[in-house]
Amino acid sequence: MSKKIPIRNIYFKRKILPIEIFQGVLNDNYKLSHDLNSPMLSVVIGTKPDFYKQAPVIIEALHQKLPAFVIDTGQHFDDLLGFGIQEFELQDHIACNLQIRGDLMEKASELILKFGSFGRYLKKNFGKFSQLLPIVHGDTLVAGIAPLAWVFGMGQKVAQNEAGLRSMSPESIKYLKVNEDPTKTIVEKFIDSQLEGRWFLAREEPFPEQIDTWICSAGTQFFFAPTQLNKDNLVREGYPEEFIHVVGNSVVDAIKIKRKNKPKTSVFDIYPKLETGEWIRIDIHRRENLTEHRFSSIVKSISYLIKNTDYKLVLIMLNAMKSALRSYHLEQNLLNLAKEYPDKFIITPLWKEYSHVIEFLDSGRCWAEMTDSGSMQEELLYFSNVLSLTVRLNTDRPETVFDARGNILIPPVNSSWITTLIDEAFNRKEGLGLELKKKRKIYGQPGMVSKNIVKIVKKEFENGDANFYPWLHQRIGLWKEKQNIDYM
């Protein structure tokens, strides 16, 4: 028999930090919950997109006097990535900080243990008044793992803001030739195929976001879908239609907030060169775009645009981008270009304030965003002068292309495809079938999305089904009962 070798401390390279509990926030909310005889809503945040997409929900919940607090997973904790907590004034509403750290596997493992443990802490200390509905967001790691922790640890499901995201790709993507330099005719046909042609489900990417949102659905009780397409995705997968609400996307509420509350320091004071000319803003960070062939195609396209066109480019140096540049020994190439072409190529760190992004997109100085971000595809529909150039083979927001007509896919199969598509987009715009000035604002009326979410939650609370885990006998109306056995 082979000798057994115990392996210890191989997965976690560091000490796990404790959960921080802010007892005053908990006590105040549980008192309000008791006084109103109402369950509580817990808005879950963890990363930069969560801060501005979930902030309007907690703001609205407090405005409607719903017992509500914030669970912060603590993934984005430094002054740069975590600034959204301060920017949207969420810090006084945080009831706990899970202090999640590590790589993808470590964060997922730690999150399932800590999130469920926090739920059990509430149950132990507040007993029957621990009825709590967490609402997670979108396709983040938190959205994928927190519902598992809550279902397994508490026997309850959660709510999901931005539910039903499923990636799709146009059929024409299958026929692209990697070594081909596309002609204008080929490009026009490809764009037309996006706007008018057939699409297919392509859920391999983005990774791990498509896995996260898929898992989240299984642990979700109340689905808040941005569009009818998202609802259709969920219904097709067998989720109960009566729990799926098409409400829009809360990012439009965040845009409204930041348009009203201007930054103290203008983005043009920080980067004065951006006040001159029209710019393409570039943010690339998806894991699939960091693979060697795609990434080298993207970097070559940036280099070509700088050297051979009049376009001005501002590159946002995200951590993923920096890591890939160094891994493929390409960082110095871009730094040299920034020195050689200082008036048309700027490299900046991540913009700390979300309000700076809104200010720049509203300014008329940005004509396009070259991005692989899902959120930016949504946001750009609400900026009539800015075109979304999505550098991906698929998108989890396909409705921004064939429905809103304010976005096009730019496949990173080679640098020529990227540069030719950008040229055509700049020169033709509406001539390609895009509708920049008449983009359909398909994600709802700014200021109303979060109101609708909270209104629906309040109504569900009033219905009295506070275990948020209806068995089939409950859902189909045979009988109702509370969860009365602790067998988790």
Q: Is the pLDDT of residue 232 over 90?
A: yes
What type of residue is 183? T
Residues facing 42 on adjacent strands:
69, 134
Per-residue pLDDT tens over the stretch 101-112:
888 888 888 999
Task: Give which of 482, 380, 360 is closest to 434, Cα–Cα.
Answer: 380
Residues 6+ apart with CB under 8 A from 325: 299, 331, 334
Q: How far apart are CA 472 and CA 485, in angstroms?
A: 17
pLDDT value at residue 467: 59
Q: Cα separation of 259 and 253, whole Å? A: 10
Instruction: Tell whether 214 and 161 lie within a shared domain.
Output: yes
**Same domain flag for 227 and 89:** yes
423 domain residue, yes or no? yes
When comparing pLDDT for 339 and 384, which is higher? Answer: 339
Q: What is the CATH number of the domain that holds 288?
A: 3.40.50.2000
Q: What is the pLDDT confidence band of residue 42, given thresholds at 50, 70 and 90?
A: very high
Specify if 193 maps to a domain: no
Nearest by Cα to 348 from 309, 321, 387: 321
Dist. CA 328–CA 323, nearest whole Å: 9
Residue 38's pLDDT band, with cuts at 50, 70 and 90, is: confident
13, 231, 247, 443 from 228: Cα distances, Å: 44, 5, 9, 10
CB 87 within 8 A of CB 353: yes
Check residue 34 and give its pLDDT: 86
State pLDDT tens for residues 202-229. 989 889 889 999 999 999 999 999 999 9
User: What is the number of structural domains in the chain?
Assistant: 2
Supply 33's token pair: 């919950």
Same domain, 337 and 391: yes
- Domain extent at residue 293: 257-432
For residue 12, is pLDDT > 60?
no
Average pLDDT of the chain is 90
* Residue 398 falls inside a structural domain: yes
The per-residue pLDDT for 424 is 87
Whether 470 has a pLDDT exceeding 70, the answer reads: no
pLDDT tens string 319-377: 999 999 999 999 999 999 999 999 999 999 999 999 999 999 999 999 999 999 999 99
- Tell me the residue length of the chain: 488
Same structural domain, 142 and 44: yes
Beta bridge partners of 43: 70, 135
* Claim to verify: residue 59 and residue 91 sit in the same structural domain: yes
**pTM as predicted:** 0.92
> Do 213 and 280 belong together in one domain?
no
Look at residue 435 in the predicted model and tell me its pLDDT: 65
What is the band of 16 on the pLDDT scale with cuts at 50, 70, 90? confident
* Per-residue confidence (pLDDT) for residue 81, from 0 to 100: 76
Here the contacts of 28-35 (C-beta below 8 Å, separation 24 or greater) are 29/67, 29/68, 29/69, 29/95, 30/67, 30/126, 30/129, 32/65, 32/67, 33/67, 33/129, 33/131, 34/129
Same domain, 212 and 344: no
Please say if the pLDDT value at position 487 is more than 60. Answer: no
How far is residue 202 from each of residues 26, 173, 181, 239, measured CA to CA in Å?
42, 11, 25, 20
Residue 132 lies in a domain: yes
Q: Is the pLDDT of residue 128 over 80?
A: no
Model pLDDT, residue 345 = 97
Average pLDDT over residues 164-192: 92
pLDDT in tens, 415-447: 999 999 999 888 866 565 666 667 899 999 999
| 471 has pLDDT over 80 | no
Q: Is 74 a member of any domain?
A: yes
Peptide bond into 206 cis (omega under 30): yes
Is 320:51 a contact under the CB 8 Å cutoff? no
- For residue 208, whether the previous peptide bond is cis, meaning omega lies within 30 degrees of 0, is yes
Label residue 194 by pLDDT band (50, 70, 90).
Answer: very high
For residues 22 and 94, the answer to whether their CB atoms sit within 8 Å is: yes
- Residue 53 pLDDT more than 70? yes
- 8 pLDDT band (50/70/90 cuts)? low
Together in a domain, 456 and 428: no
pLDDT at 130 over 70: no
323 and 455 housed in the same domain = no
